[in-house]
A and B are shown apart, each in its own frame.
Chain A
């Protein structure tokens, strides 16, 4: 009876079935845009030095009138007050911004994911102890902590303090930002992963694996971790978007990368006071930042919807 009733609704779906029997899903336009943008942006960012149409990061174009010229065929995004090509700096900035954000979120996923899995699987006092740590990390205002820590790291780098024979000369702004962003992404990731693990560990296949004599590490890595991947991918994308924007905010406070390196946040901040004289040096990197954050968010949202993950804390 139910089969008969259900039959008509099945027919239109069968119409989009491709030859190999799989149903073709129409991917939303936003997703296509997101993927296309990221492919183009990362390709440019990581191949910049080999691409003939991208000038050097700090290459100055000498000659009268080369400063602050508007967007043109020669300077796609114009040039800034030092005569540097804004397009080239946007591309090099992409490399730094995207690398910083992705590395930090990956570190956060590994550390936060492990904490969340341990808390969610073992429950009891382990969970309660970790919950206190996670909640207190979340209680800090992220940006204030970031600015504070980066400021301290600067002092540390300038000092000649040594730990076990190693100094801190390597602790440049890039490293401090990466460390701080990684630390800040641990707590939200741990919270999401913990919630997912709690629900996954109650699934019958986990009990089934236990009833067959599987050890705890095997259950964690074979039964639970693979099922966490969709949630983690979703966190990865939305997290990168969040950190990209956070880098921009840090630049405003003067705690981002230092010139002559380029990052989007830094470029926006450097040129914003002169926006009425040459708008392109601010608007172009801002547009890049906006599009990239949007692209990551669109992909992240699609993954989350596809796998039905409810965003908890991000």
Chain B
């Protein structure tokens, strides 16, 4: 996140039409190009959605309930196909048939782990994806064990998913995706319903996915504190499209933008702004983590 203070905010124009940011095409893994999706009941899931993921980055999709975050994630994985617009992988637009193979590129960790863990044992569940990739039973087992070790859940291998705690279920869900070795992992509300300890473990794991495994991560979350701590880029989603995007340090200090999106700044930002107001100083630096905030206060 070294360049987090240098990225500029790109936002929808005055007519509300968003623009795809001029990202680095060399690093681009997947690009949702002005896609729209209308559900069979006529409700609009996303419209004119422009979104991309680059190599080795963590992108946070932040927005209120029903803003289209989950619908976008389902498009990334190929669970939904856009009614309008298209999706490009590695710079090439994919055909309708190829949508069904997007799961090989983008793994999704769903919000409710109980919906994801369906197999009789943890090992069976984590092996499910690798077997679908065409791996042999032994190779799938090895891949599953490797993934379980990576998330620190190797001791759960023969357990029944029913007897796992919420945090363990979330770790196993992530292992189930990691075992498939996708290039991007999208997590829908990864820390919801978790206690602080497990929440911290999942957060650390998300960071590890990028740093250790070189996997790009997309998180859809209401937890702006989490997004502030780990994301390289924030996309504010409102009414089915990306309303603005930029570095956390810029987005989370733009109170007007957050208010327009229906969000509140992360607590650390609120504390720092309150501190600056109390001391009567103008913040010339936008800290977004505890360490950065401590440093900013120390410098004053």
A binds B: no
B: residues with CB less than 8 A from A are: none
A: residues with CB less than 8 A from B are: none
